[in-house]
Amino acid sequence: MADYNEIISAFKNKPGGIIEAFHAIQKEYSYIPEEAVVAAADAFDMSKARAYGVATFYSYLKVGKRGKNVIRICESAPCHVAGADKVVAALEKELGIKMGETTGDGKFTLEFTECVGQCQATPVITINSVPYGDVTAEKVGEILAAYK
């Protein structure tokens, strides 16, 4: 695993580099460690509050520990009407956690998200940004099997 300081250094002299650095850190760690926000603030010569603001502004970025496989389910109206609540219940049952939590082994995190642009195939989940459409409670076990 690459050190977040090395990742930050690679983007230090780019306009808007802090956002790119946070994306790269998250890709490496599955989240942005608190210490990386502080290191980025120093590297990009800004306050810790401003760096934290950048890291928390975008819903895609997540400061703080989360699982290796991030499962996000769309909570927009089309997905809700199509049965997202049943998919949420199946995900929670299969993984033994509630929305917003991470499994004890650190393999999975469940999160809600806004529309992922796949409304033709509701309900939609993404796992590590890979979309799965027309998800039903019955399909959840099969989808997760590939990540276990």
1 has a pLDDT exceeding 80 = no
Q: Are 51 and 37 in contact (CB under 8 A)?
A: yes
The structure tokens 């950048």 sit at 54
For the stretch 60-118, pLDDT in tens is 788 888 888 999 998 888 888 899 999 999 999 999 999 999 999 999 999 998 888 88
What would the two tokens of residue 120 be? 């033709």
Average pLDDT over residues 114-135: 91
Q: What is the average pLDDT score of the chain?
A: 92
- Taking the CA atoms of residue 68, residue 132, residue 73 and residue 102 in that order, the dihedral angle to the nearest 10 degrees is -20
Alpha-carbon gap, residue 123 to 64, rounded angstroms: 27
Is the backbone peptide bond immediately before 33 cis, with ω within 30 degrees of 0?
A: no
| pLDDT for the residue numbered 115 | 85
What number does CATH give the domain 69-145? 3.40.30.10
| pLDDT for the residue numbered 19 | 95
Domain spans, the chain: 4-57, 69-145
For the stretch 14-59, pLDDT in tens is 988 999 999 999 989 888 999 999 999 999 999 999 999 999 888 7
